[in-house]
Structure 1
């Protein structure tokens, strides 16, 4: 009988610990990616410059490029710079915007890319997508996954706590995203990938069951690994489905209609909790609500500076941001057959359920 398997793209190296970035030069040489350290180091605002100085002694032929990332235009500009250089690989150092900008530019010109994450704000660390602002929207673009992923806890610890907490929301919402995918499989016959589901859901389960906080190395490692696993679940599935459902539709809607209210992780954490409430899964709802509350993350529209009417408007528009998706929002007819009055009642019930 033939052995049937599948090949899954994954980084050659995943290194999450204190002092991890010091190994970068050795990794590139040992992996025969760039024996002479001829790489482009892309540095974003914040701690990127400090890390670049730290690794420079082991990458003597590196060229430093500065970006203010997060937009398609900045990614295209970086791509133009890379095209004019002779380098073996690209190293993106910084937060999510810098990493996504670097992933897009490296993919465009066929260069291996290494992520050196200075924050744990979202699952873009190792995902096959880059989310970039363009023309008033924030679409996601398909990119190659990184060759290697480094998360140095020394630098994560030095960054804002708000970014790390946002990462908790981004991992936790995978519970809701997976439930939406399973709902679509039942209702529409959409294919579902069990391995991708297991990877995404287990990343969230690990946080739900971890008693620590962002001041503990053990918790930070669990969070970093959860973000990486969630990102790789998308590579396994060939779609963002295991990591993005109604929770992300609400976030995209918020960015379009009510920009400037919370980070991505805060938005999807709240969105995932709301969608879990709509599914009537009380056990999951209570679990997620407790975790968000314990880490001081938003659970109510007011926590993000939104009124009930604002959130009703956001939820009603949310399905239009991903018209090809089927989530609990589409299942209930939000933004379609459901009246705004009915939706407002559901939002009010949700708020009552969250409040003690």
Structure 2
């Protein structure tokens, strides 16, 4: 009997350590990505100068491009610049906006892309998706998964705590997303990819109960690896399904109705906790609520500056952001009055914890 197997795309190289940015030239050469360092380095306006100073000794032939990032226009502008040069690869260094911009631009011309994360805000560092704003609306664009993923713990340590804490919310939201995926399997017969689910679940479970915080290298390394695993889960499944359910519908609805309310990861944690409450999964709810509190992440709408009526509007609008996705929000199909009632119960339960 023949054995059937499938091939999945994964980064060729993954490194999570200190000093990775300064050592980038050797990493690219050892990985046979670029022996001469003829790469396009994409940085954001914030850390740009410091990063370039660190890179020059090991990447003297690199061309540096500064991008404001985060929008489709910025990604297309960068892609036009890349077309005029001759590069072995594109190296995106920075936070999520810079990395997503570089991923999209590199994919336009089939160039290998290396993701170098200086913060741990979300799982975009290793995913085959670029989140970019177009005409004021954030959309997800399919791209090639990065050929390499590097996390420099020196930069993470010196970055804003709030930015890095947000990654915790994004990781643990996988638990809610996977519950929604299982619900879709039971109700609609939607197939669940077991490998993708395992990859998404492992990192989330580790962070959910792991002691320590962002001052601990072991915790930060585990968080980085969990975010990378989430990206791999999406690559394996061919969609964002293992990491995106009702929790992410709430993110997109908030971004549409009340822009700049909070970061992606902060809203992911809040959305996941509320969706878990709606499922009536009390053990998981308590576990997630404790994790969010431990890491000073939002648990209630008021924590992100929304009142009950505003959040009710978000929840009502959320299913419209992903019409093809079946989650607990679509399953319950709550009326505005039912949403307000559930939200009041949710606040009461949190207060009693």
Corresponding residue for residue 64 of structure 2: 64
- Of 48-57 and 130-139, deviating more is 48-57
Corresponding residue for residue 96 of structure 1: 96
CA distance in 2, matches of 1:48, 1:116: 13
Question: Quick check: 2:169–2:292 contact (8 Å CA) kept in 1?
Answer: yes
Summarize the Cα distance change of 1:226–1:268 in structure 2 as closer, same or farther, 3 Å threshold.
same
**DSSP 3-state at the match of 1:57:** coil
TM-score normalised by L of structure 2: 0.98
Deviation at 1:142, TM superposition (A): 0.1
Question: Quick check: 1:47–1:118 contact (8 Å CA) kept in 2?
Answer: no
Corresponding residue for residue 113 of structure 2: 113
Corresponding residue for residue 345 of structure 1: 341
Corresponding residue for residue 170 of structure 2: 170
Deviation at 1:27, TM superposition (A): 2.4
Corresponding residue for residue 315 of structure 1: 315
Deviation at 1:241, TM superposition (A): 0.1
Question: Quick check: 2:48–2:66 contact (8 Å CA) kept in 1?
Answer: no
CA distance in 2, matches of 1:86, 1:57: 21
Question: Quick check: 2:112–2:146 contact (8 Å CA) kept in 1?
Answer: yes
Question: Quick check: 1:120–1:156 contact (8 Å CA) kept in 2?
Answer: yes
Question: Quick check: 1:246–1:328 contact (8 Å CA) kept in 2?
Answer: yes
C-alpha root-mean-square deviation of aligned residues, in Å?
A: 0.9
Corresponding residue for residue 295 of structure 2: 295
Corresponding residue for residue 277 of structure 2: 277
- Of 55-64 and 230-239, deviating more is 55-64
CA distance in 1, matches of 2:260, 2:29: 43
Q: Deviations over 1:197-240 (max 9, x none)?
A: 01101111000121111110010001000000001100000010
Q: Deviations over 1:88-120 (max 9, x none)?
A: 111001100000000000000110011111100
**DSSP 3-state at the match of 1:211:** coil
CA distance in 2, matches of 1:21, 1:5: 36
Deviation at 1:175, TM superposition (A): 0.3
Q: Deviations over 1:28-56 (max 9, x none)?
A: 22333221111010011322432222122
CA distance in 2, matches of 1:157, 1:267: 22
TM-score normalised by L of structure 1: 0.97
Question: Quick check: 1:47–1:155 contact (8 Å CA) kept in 2?
Answer: no
Deviation at 1:21, TM superposition (A): 2.3
**DSSP 3-state at the match of 2:134:** coil
Q: Deviations over 1:229-268 (max 9, x none)?
A: 0011000000100000000000000000111211110011
Question: Quick check: 1:112–1:147 contact (8 Å CA) kept in 2?
Answer: yes
Corresponding residue for residue 189 of structure 2: 189
**DSSP 3-state at the match of 1:20:** coil
